[in-house]
Structure 1
C-alpha cells in the first residue's frame, strides 16, 4: 500500500464532506491536491497542500480553509496531530501504531509490496542496446543495457505493459564493412596471408571466429570471387554470427529481449517509402538546400538539393535531410520508419536508451515521432554517459582481441553479473561513471553492491540465529504478520519502518520519471538504516535484534527484518540481481 496515496484519498474524502456540509463550494478541482512527505522530517510524517491549491477557487484565505480541513483531519484514527504551517500547508503526524501495522502489509505482500497499477496497462516500448552487429558488446554498451533493462522492470512493476526491444542496425555501410572484414578473415582461415588489416576494416580478432565458421560452412566457395558475388551472403552470415554473440553477451548480463527488429527488413518491406507517403500527405517534406553548418561538419549536409523534413515545425533546430541528392535514404529516414512502425504496433510511449555520442540526435527524432504520430506519440531518450574502466585507480588498457574496446563479457567474467548490474545503476544515466574492477569487489560501506547485499544476508543470518536461540519461536509469515507489534516502540525502529513505507511511492515516482537509479539510492539508504540499527544493538543489549530473555520482542523484530528483506529483495530482483543469503 502506498500510504501517501491512501492519505491523499482520506484528505479528498474530508474535502468532499466539507462540500456536503457547505463549508466550501462544490465543483472544486481536487486533482492538484497532494499528500507527501515534507522536505524536513521534523515537520511531521506527511503534508498536504490542499488549502493552498484550493483557496482561490473556494474564495477563501488559505489559512482559513486549512483550519477547517485540519479540524477534520485531526479526527482520523491514523492521525496523531495536525499543524498548520506557513501560508496554509497542513503537516500531519501519524500514529505510531499505524506505522508498525504496515509491517503486516509488507509481510502479506512479500516481494510484490509496492506493485502498482499506476500505468493502467499502457503499452510502453523500451529500446536499448541496439548496438551495430559488428562486434561483441562493450562496457559502454553494458550501461545502456542495464539502464534499459532496469527501467523496463520498473515500469512493469508499476503497471505498464512493457516491450523490451533491440533494433538491429543491419542496413547501411557499416555492415558492408563488416562483410569485407569477415571475408578477409575467411581468406585467412583458408590459409592466405592477409597481412595488415586495411584501414577502415574492423580489426578485432573476434572476426577470426567468423571467418573460420564461414570457411567450415562453405569451404572455398567464395574464394577468388568478385565482391558482388559474395557480399550479400557473407554479410548475412557475419551479422547472424555476431548477433548470436551479442545475444550470448546479453544473456550473461541477465538481459533477455522480447523482440529483435531488423532495420534491413523494415526498409525492404517499404517502411521508408511509407514514411514518405505519410509526410507528403501532411505537407512536411520539400526539396531544398540546407545552410552550411557553422563550426562543424554534419554527416548529412550536402551543398545540393535534398529532400528535407520540416522538423523545425516540431521543435528541432533545423530541417533534416531524409533523402540525399543521389536518391539514397539517410539514416534518419530509416529511424523515422522504425518509430512509425513502433507507433503502429500500439506504442504511444517510446523510450530509447542511447550512448553519449547520440545526444545531438534527440531533437530530430522527437520531432519525427511527433510528426508521424500527429503528436499522439512521445519519445523519451535516456542518454548514458561513458564508463571509465579502472583497475585500482589505473585506466584499463584496450583488448587486442576486441580491436579497440573492452568487452562486456571480460568484465562479467572477472567481477560477476550482479556487481556489473548494480554498479551501473549507482549514478544517474547522464552522469559519467567510473567502474573500478578492484573497488567493486571490496567488502566495505563504500561499495554499494556489497553494502546492500550484506544487509539482506545479515537479516537472513539473524533470522536463522533466532531459531537457534529460541527452540519454540515461530517465524512463519502467517505467524509474523499476526503478531502484536506494539513492543516495537523505539524511534530507530520507527525510522526503519517509515523508510520501508516510502518504497511504493518511490517506485511510482521513479517510474514516472523513467529513473531506475533512484532504486539503487533507496536500497543503499535502506541498508544503511538497517546496519545502523544493528550496530546500536552492540551498545544497548535491549536494542539487539535477538534479546535472549524476551522471545516476544525478538519475534517482533524478526517480523521487521523479514519485511526489510522483502523490500531489499524486491529492489534487487528488479535490477536482475539475486539477493544474497550469506556473504563469503
Structure 2
C-alpha cells in the first residue's frame, strides 16, 4: 500500500460507516471515488471527490455528504483536518507523522517502492523502431526507440509481462534497392568505377558491406546478370544492416526480445491464413473503391480489388489487401503480422509509429479488432519529428549516412543517458527540439543535468556522512523532518506510486521524466534553503542524531530518482 492508497481506503471505510448508520444509502457505486493532490496546494494535502460522485445516486446534496464524511475522517490519526470546499469537495491535511511514514516505507522497500501489480501479468507486445533494414537508424528512429523502450520498462514496472519486438521490413522493394546499392559497393571494392542511380543508397555505411561481400564471394558476381546475385546479395545485405541496427540500438541501451521478419510471412501461407480468418467472418470481398479525394476521373481508373471491410470497425474507407494484378498490398503482410501476434496469446498490442504513419492508424486498429473479435486492444503511438540543433543551427547531415543524422551520431555527441532523457522531455506526439549544446549546460534549464545533479548531490552528502561514521536513520529518527519545505519534498515522494500507475495506464512514459524534474526541483529548493538556514542542512556535523533523520529523507529521494531513471533507461549519476 502507499499513502494515497491508504487514504483512499480510509475514505471507503468512512463511507462504509455512513452506510451502516443509514446516513448514506447502501450499495452505492464507488468506482469513481478518488483521492488526489488538490490542484492548488494551498487547499490541502489531498482531496476526495466522494461527495460529488455519490450525490446523484444517493439523492443527497454533495455538501451534506462531504460534511458527514469529514466528521468520520477527522477521527483518523493520520488526518489533521478535513474541510469541505465549494459545492462538496473535501480537502484533507495530513499529520507530519503520516508524511514521515512515506520516508520509512521508501527506505524499507527500496527499489520496490512504486512497483505495482496493476498489470496482473497481462501479456503486452510493444513493437517499436521497426525501421527498414536499408541503413543506420536516424535521429527520428532514436525517439521511437527511446519512447518504446521506456514504455516497455514502465509496463514491466507495473506488473505486465512485456515483449519488446522489432518488425524487420525486409519483404518489400526497398531491400532489392539495398541489394543493388551493395552490389555497386561490391564492384567498387573490386576497383571498378560506379555511379549511384537515383533511388539507390549512396551512404558510406555500405562501403564495408560491399567489401565484406567481396571477401565472402570473391569475383563470383562480377559481370553477372542481376538474376544471378540479387536474392543472395539481398539476404547478405539485410543481415549486415540488421547487425548495424542491433549495434546502434545497443549503443542506446535498447535490447529487443524478438526480431520478426516480414519476409517470413511470404510463401508460408501466413498471409493467406490471416485473410482466410477475415474472409470467414465476411470481411473480405471483391469491389471497387471510390476515387480518392482530390482526384478527377481522368486521374483515376476504377479497378476491382480484394478489399477488407475496415469501415465495419471505424475506418474511413475499406482497404485493399490484394491488387488487381494479384500482388499483395503493403497492408496484407501487416495484417498477417498482427494476426501472428494475436495467435501468440498477447492480451494487448502497442505499436510505435513515426509521424508519417498517421494515416495507417485506423486501418490497423480495424484489422486487429476484426482478427481478435475486439478482444485484443491495439494502441498506436505516433512519435513526432526531432529537430537536432546546435544553438541556432539545425544539424541535417551525417558523415556515415550523408543525408541524415544517425542515432550513433547523437549518442557519440552527448551520450546514451542524455539522449534517452531528452527524448522523453516532450510528449511523444509533440515535436521535439534537441539542442546538443543546451544539454551540456549545467543549469536548471537542462532537465538532464538538473535530475542527475540532484542524485549526485545526495550521494555526495551520504559519502561525507559515511566518512564520519553516520548512516541514514530509520523510522525512529524521522521526527526531525518537520519543516514545511521538508514535508513538501516528502509529499512529492508520496506521489510516485500513483504517478507510475497513471503513466502506465495512459502509455505516457514522459510523465516519469516530468515527475523526476519536479522532484529534483523540490530537493534543490530545500538544499538552497539550507544554505540560508543551517538547521535545514542534511548533514549536521555536530548533531549525528538529527543528521540521521535528514539523511534518511534525502536517501529516500535518491531511491525514487534511481527508480524513475531506471524506467527511462538512464544511469543515476553518483558524481558530477
Query: Considering the TM-score relative to the shorter chain, is it more than 0.5?
Result: yes
1:358-414 Cα offsets, whole Å, 9 max, x none, are 111111111111111111111111111111111122111412431311111122112
1:65-117 Cα offsets, whole Å, 9 max, x none, are 22222211111111111111222221111111110121010011112210001
**What secondary structure does 1:136 align onto?**
coil
1:58, CA displacement in angstroms? 2.2
Q: Which residue of structure 2 lines up, in the alignment, with residue 167 of structure 1? A: 167
Q: Which residue of structure 1 lines up, in the alignment, with residue 199 of structure 2? A: 200
Superposition pairs of residues 212-361 of structure 1, within 5 angstroms = 212-295=211-294, 303-361=302-360
In the alignment, which of 492, 499, 504 is matched to residue 497 of structure 2? 504
Q: Which residue of structure 2 lines up, in the alignment, with residue 474 of structure 1? A: 471
1:77 aligns with 2:77: yes
**What secondary structure does 1:365 align onto?**
helix
Confirm or deny: 8 A CA contact 1:572 1:579 kept in the other structure: yes
Compare 146-155 and 279-288 and name the one that shifted more: 279-288
- Structure 2 Cα separation of the partners of residues 421 and 296 of structure 1: 43
1:446, CA displacement in angstroms? 1.1
- Structure 1 Cα separation of the partners of residues 74 and 376 of structure 2: 45
1:555 aligns with 2:548: yes
1:296, CA displacement in angstroms? 7.1
Confirm or deny: 8 A CA contact 2:480 2:550 kept in the other structure: no
Q: Which residue of structure 1 lines up, in the alignment, with residue 562 of structure 2? A: 569
**What secondary structure does 2:500 align onto?**
helix
Superposition pairs of residues 516-535 of structure 1, within 5 angstroms = 516-535=509-528
1:418 aligns with 2:417: yes
Confirm or deny: 8 A CA contact 2:24 2:58 kept in the other structure: yes
1:48, CA displacement in angstroms? 1.4
- Structure 2 Cα separation of the partners of residues 363 and 211 of structure 1: 40
- Structure 2 Cα separation of the partners of residues 311 and 549 of structure 1: 73
Confirm or deny: 8 A CA contact 2:101 2:475 kept in the other structure: no
Q: Which residue of structure 2 lines up, in the alignment, with residue 55 of structure 1? A: 55
1:495-521 Cα offsets, whole Å, 9 max, x none, are 000001100010001111100001111
Q: Which residue of structure 1 lines up, in the alignment, with residue 44 of structure 2? A: 44
Compare 200-209 and 505-514 and name the one that shifted more: 200-209
Q: Which residue of structure 1 lines up, in the alignment, with residue 457 of structure 2? A: 458
1:332-367 Cα offsets, whole Å, 9 max, x none, are 111111111111111131111111111111111111
Compare 480-489 and 374-383 and name the one that shifted more: 480-489
Structure 2: runs of 5 or more not aligned: none
1:136, CA displacement in angstroms? 0.7
Q: Which residue of structure 2 lines up, in the alignment, with residue 492 of structure 1? A: 485
Confirm or deny: 8 A CA contact 1:111 1:566 kept in the other structure: yes
Compare 136-145 and 438-447 and name the one that shifted more: 438-447
1:55, CA displacement in angstroms? 2.3
Q: Which residue of structure 2 lines up, in the alignment, with residue 430 of structure 1? A: 429
- Structure 2 Cα separation of the partners of residues 302 and 419 of structure 1: 52
1:365 aligns with 2:364: yes
Confirm or deny: 8 A CA contact 1:290 1:302 kept in the other structure: no
Compare 2-11 and 34-43 and name the one that shifted more: 2-11
1:467, CA displacement in angstroms? 3.3
Confirm or deny: 8 A CA contact 1:202 1:403 kept in the other structure: no
1:231-267 Cα offsets, whole Å, 9 max, x none, are 1111111000000000000000000001111111123
Q: Which residue of structure 2 lines up, in the alignment, with residue 190 of structure 1? A: 190
**What secondary structure does 2:475 align onto?**
coil
1:497-547 Cα offsets, whole Å, 9 max, x none, are 000110001000111110000111111111111111111111112122222
Confirm or deny: 8 A CA contact 1:139 1:387 kept in the other structure: yes
1:557, CA displacement in angstroms? 0.8
Structure 1: runs of 5 or more not aligned: none
TM-score (norm 1): 0.96
- Structure 2 Cα separation of the partners of residues 63 and 532 of structure 1: 38
**What secondary structure does 2:420 align onto?**
helix
Confirm or deny: 8 A CA contact 1:289 1:302 kept in the other structure: no
Over aligned residue pairs, what C-alpha RMSD do you find?
1.5
Confirm or deny: 8 A CA contact 2:477 2:546 kept in the other structure: no
TM-score (norm 2): 0.97
1:540 aligns with 2:539: no
Superposition pairs of residues 395-406 of structure 1, within 5 angstroms = 395-406=394-405
Q: Which residue of structure 2 lines up, in the alignment, with residue 393 of structure 1? A: 392
**What secondary structure does 1:484 align onto?**
helix
- Relative to structure 1, the CA distance from residue 302 to residue 5 in structure 2 (aligned partners, 3 Å threshold; closer, same or farther) is farther
Aligned residues, how many? 573
Confirm or deny: 8 A CA contact 1:488 1:553 kept in the other structure: no
1:472, CA displacement in angstroms? 4.3
1:578, CA displacement in angstroms? 1.0
**What secondary structure does 1:192 align onto?**
coil
**What secondary structure does 1:361 align onto?**
helix
**What secondary structure does 2:260 align onto?**
strand
1:149 aligns with 2:113: no
**What secondary structure does 2:266 align onto?**
helix
